Structure 1
Amino acid sequence: MREPLPITLEQLSDRYDVFLVDQFGVLRDDTGPYEGAIEALSRLATAGKMIVILSNSGRNGEYNSERLVKLGFAADSFDFFVTSGDVAYEVLSSPGSTLVRGSTCLTISSGGDRNLADRLGLVSMDHASEAQLIIISGSESERVAMDDYREMLRPAAEKHIPCVCTNPDIHKLHNGATLAGAGSIARLYEALGGTVTWFGKPHPEIYEHAVRIAGINDRRRVVCVGDSIEHDILGAKRSGFDSALVRTGILAENTDEQLAHLFNSVRADATFIMPAFRNLET
């Protein structure tokens, strides 16, 4: 695989007009913004760059936008906030969808989030055996063991109940530790024999959604910035975008050798690499 070139955010700004920026691991962690990220995002916006926050969040873009602003990011420092939850809603609520309003649903999430089920007019249930659809939008692996998730989902998998994963992230950040994310729970469901439909990075629908709402015509002028090789870098490559891997987030502690192994195993190389999403003087 081609070794990514070191680059600064200022140099990226000189090369590209559109930035598709990951949220968790690039702009913030589970406690708040990374040092310099607020200023860096505002400076890109002031320079006239189009900025789309592209997030594997099962919650909608409006919720995420408001949360980002509450953390101190300027509301005018990004143009759009695209989430995998929004893309899932768009697809599942389309005229061609076979999903029926009023169907029963079990949502695996964090913080009791049932936003997608509510928007789709589904009836939320507490047990997998009662569900006609499983939605996996988040993980609480800091308090729920994976074996518990396995037993929770086994009745649905045995009945071949379809599952939708609106957050493919295999890992998540929690209090400085890397834990199993919603994507790991969805993989577990597949291992039990269930079928999963995936929405979010690295799958193409979220990128095509961003292209459409942002009016992107020339993909050569777009760069994707992320902290995950499996999601951000692979997704960018599949969709024909250049990419920049930041050394914050889930791979912050990985050595260069470990990164090289990941690039090879995922079969996706980043165009560039940089220490963090911030300006040189911050």
Structure 2
Amino acid sequence: MIEKHAEHLDGIAALAERYDVFLLDQFGVLHDGQRPYPGAVEALSALKRAGKTVALISNSGKRAEPNERRLLKLGFEAGSWDHFVSSGEVAWRIFTDMAREGTLPAGTRCLLISRDSDRSAIEGLPLVLTERGDDAELVLIAASEGDRYDLDHYRGLLGPAAARQVPCFCTNPDRIMLTAVGPRFGAGEIADLYERLGGSVTRIGKPFPAIYEAALALAGNPARGDVVCVGDSVEHDIAGGQAAGVATALVLSGILADSGDLAGLFDELDAHPDYMLDAFRWR
């Protein structure tokens, strides 16, 4: 049944023969957060040598620059991508515009949910950090530390803010994340918890339109038939790329590495990839 929906390819060289613009996920496609997948460094460089436009598009609550630094540290070649578009970067630009327009007042108290004390999501914004949900005026869920805490930790932190209907933004809608100790709940699951606690959430990132609009604009607004979106999540990469009107390729090296009924998942989410690859490699 899977073959009915998707053409299986041995590597992205076959996609390079058909498309000029690549929107690539990073986690689960290029690397697992600790190291590159076998062949991924070489495949990314080969795409650029083939003259393709490469935009990395990631549900990372961090801004583009720290994400790019990490790729270089992991061994990816400088210049092997043209643009990096993270949901954190898109959100930062939205907040910057809100501050300029006066809809985000200076001194707004922000409860930031991030990872490893990362503050890049709010650098340069007129926000004052708070660690308390009972006096927050804005909640920003940029990342999860689900490998350190359970959901009860976040329930206690966020409950008072949700009860007061404090506006919440989630800049990483992924419900599952890959960690050194295996899959854990992601920032998207924390956002779902905030809603269950009575709050409302604005999600920025895949599969929502703003991040694709930003990436395609940076790529020069190409014809949609010239673009392919490559990722490891049906819910985010395939559904989002499909909604953006571009071709999609599902890589089975990430969160779906041990998945069973993929056809059922495609039907459940009404998101069917055009292509499937076992890994992000050239051939």
For the residues of structure 1 that align with 2:117 and 2:66, how far apart are their CA atoms? 14
| Structure 2 partner of 1:20 | 23
Q: Secondary structure at the match of 1:53?
A: strand
CA distance in 2 between partners of 1:194 and 1:117 (Å): 21
Offset at 1:217?
2.3
Alignment coverage as a number of residue pairs: 278
1:238 Cα offset (Å): 0.8
| Distance of 2:102 and 2:145 partners within structure 1 | 29
User: Displacement, 1:30?
Assistant: 1.9
Q: Deviations over 1:187-231 (max 9, x none)?
A: 110111101011000000000001111102201000000000000
Identity, in percent, stands at 47
When residues 97 and 251 of structure 1 are mapped into structure 2, their CA distance, relative to the original with a 3 A threshold, is: farther
The question of whether the paired residues in 1 share the 8 Å contact of 2:166 and 2:199 is answered with yes
Q: What's the CA shift for 1:107?
A: 0.6
Label 1:170 to 1:69 Cα distance change in 2 as closer, same or farther (>3 A): same
Question: Of the candidates 5, 21, 32, which is equivalent to residue 3 of structure 1?
Answer: 5
| 1:68-107 CA distance string (max 9 Å, x none) | 0111111110000000011111112214562112100011
RMSD: 1.3
Query: 2 CA distance for matches of 1:265 and 1:30?
Result: 28
Asked if the contact 2:147/2:181 (under 8 Å) is kept, the reply is: no
Does the CA-based 8 Å contact 1:20-1:225 persist in structure 2?
Answer: yes
Q: 1:105 touches 1:117 (CA, 8 Å); kept in 2?
A: no
Secondary structure of 1:169's partner? coil
Residues 122-181 of structure 1: CA distance to partner in whole angstroms, max 9, x if unpaired? 000111112100000000111111111112100000000000101111100012611100
TM alignment of 1:156-167, pairs within 5 A: 156-167=161-172
Structure 1, unaligned runs of 5 or more: none
Local SS of the residue matching 1:131: coil
Q: Give the whole-Å Cα distance in 1 for the aligned partners of 2:174 and 2:239.
A: 12
Secondary structure of the residue aligned to 2:17 is helix
- Per the normalisation by structure 2, the TM-score is 0.95
Which consecutive residues of structure 2, in runs of 5 or more, have no partner in the other structure?
none
User: TM-score by structure 1 length?
Assistant: 0.96
Question: Aligned pair 1:243/2:248, yes or no?
Answer: yes
Match of 1:251, SS state, is: coil
| Aligned counterparts of 2:161 and 2:120: Cα–Cα separation in 1 | 21
**Residue 59 (structure 2) pairs with residue 56 (structure 1):** yes
Counterpart of 2:169 in 1: which secondary structure?
Answer: strand
1:191 aligned partner: 196
The answer on whether the counterparts of 1:136 and 1:182 sit within 8 Å (CA) in structure 2 is yes
Q: Secondary structure at the match of 2:117?
A: coil
Match of 1:263 in 2: 266
State the alpha-carbon separation in 1 of the partners of residues 183 and 61 from structure 2: 19
Question: 1: distance between equivalents of 2:255 and 2:14?
Answer: 24
1:35–1:278: 8 Å Cα contact kept in structure 2? yes
Match of 1:114 among 105, 110, 119: 119
1:233 counterpart residue number: 238
Which position in structure 1 is the counterpart of 2:182? 177
